[in-house]
């Protein structure tokens, strides 16, 4: 459908070599976008998308703010300014906030949270301030419900890092609306990716009993929501957190 078409748009996806990231890269290419596929290790996405001229794999540590300008310059030279930013890079962590390892907690916050703000600020200055755009942050269904769900798939520090992403989404949506930027988050439930570091059957056995649709998700389950939030179809939606979780958490 025309309103989901992303022809002529440039999308920057971080964490593009991971489970959800790679599915997003493929989904955006299918929607006719050009994709800057950034990851600490871009080799897996480069191998998966080999020969596809719409994809530019690139190395980027999102927690290294000084590296971002160069990536944006290369992106601009190849495909023009970034229209859609997907802050997807993330790390799982299992630390307790009250007495967990301070350094591990700091790393989680640095990658999952601070980098989202830093990259968004730089992309906003580089292109979106003038020409508008779309920002999609990947949060998590467990975020602020972590305590209720007994953390379920991460530690309190992970929940904390993602709860801030949800708040940040709403604050940035408010600040950037006058420039024609929409900012939304997708909050995945339990999705089978390398993040869980165990076979799918184990993740299924551990979590599916608490998921009304009766199964854990696959990376492909996130793609429709991302293309929707990147496209004209969602032009009147901003500041929202869209849970894609089989009903595991139902928000009002």
What residue ranges bind ligand NAD (CB under 6 A)?
Answer: 14-15, 17-21, 39-41, 60-63, 88-91, 111, 138, 140, 153, 188, 190-191, 193-195
* Minimum separation from the CB atom of position 1 to ligand NAD (A): 26
Name the minimum Å distance from CB 112 to ligand NAD. Answer: 6
Q: Which whole-number Å values give the CA distances from 190 to 83, 93, 213, 215, in the listed order?
A: 29, 15, 12, 9
The CA distances from residue 251 to 26, 231, 244, 248, in Å, are 29, 23, 11, 10
Among the listed residues 105, 191, 197, the one whose alpha carbon sits nearest the alpha carbon of residue 156: 105
Give 178 or 209: the residue with its C-beta nearer to ligand NAD.
209
Distance in Å, CB of 62 to ligand NAD, minimum: 4
Q: What are the distances in angstroms from CA 81 to CA 76, 166, 190, 227, 236?
A: 5, 26, 33, 18, 22
Q: Beta-carbon neighbour count of residue 114 at 10 Å?
A: 17
Between 44 and 239, name the residue whose CB sits nearer to ligand NAD.
44
160 is catalytic: no
Q: Tell me the residue number closest to ligand NAD, measured at CB.
A: 18
Q: Which is nearer to ligand NAD, 121 or 130 (CB)?
A: 121
Considering the complex, state which of residue 62 and residue 211 has its C-beta at the smaller distance from ligand NAD. 62
Catalytic residue, chosen from 151, 158, 174, 236, is 158
- CB burial string 124-152: b at 16+ within 10 A, e below: bebbbeeeebbbbbbbbbbbbbbeebebb
Give the residue numbers annotated as catalytic, written as ranges: 158
């Amino acid at each position: 459908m025309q309103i989901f078409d992303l022809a002529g748009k440039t999308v920057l996806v971080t964490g593009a070599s991971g489970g959800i990231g790679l599915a997003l890269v493929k989904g955006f290419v299918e929607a006719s976008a050009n994709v800057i596929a950034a990851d600490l290790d871009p080799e897996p996405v480069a191998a998966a998308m080999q020969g596809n001229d719409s994809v530019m794999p690139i190395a980027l540590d999102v927690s290294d703010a000084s590296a971002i300008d160069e990536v944006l310059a290369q992106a601009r030279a190849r495909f023009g300014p970034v229209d859609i930013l997907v802050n997807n890079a993330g790390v799982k962590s299992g630390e307790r906030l009250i007495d967990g390892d301070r350094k591990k907690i700091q790393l989680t916050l640095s990658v999952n949270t601070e980098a989202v703000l830093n990259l968004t600020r730089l992309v906003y200055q580089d292109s979106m301030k003038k020409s508008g755009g779309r920002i999609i942050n990947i949060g998590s269904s467990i975020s602020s419900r972590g305590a209720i769900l007994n953390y379920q798939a991460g530690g309190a520090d992970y929940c904390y890092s993602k709860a801030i992403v949800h708040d940040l989404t709403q604050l940035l949506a408010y600040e950037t609306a006058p420039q024609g930027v929409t900012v939304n988050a997708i909050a995945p439930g339990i999705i089978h990716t390398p993040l869980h570091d165990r076979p799918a059957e184990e993740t299924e056995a551990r979590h599916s009993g608490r998921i009304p649709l009766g199964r854990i998700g696959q990376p492909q389950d996130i793609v429709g929501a991302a293309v929707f939030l990147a496209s004209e179809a969602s032009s009147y939606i901003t500041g929202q957190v869209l849970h894609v979780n089989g009903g595991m958490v139902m928000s009002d």
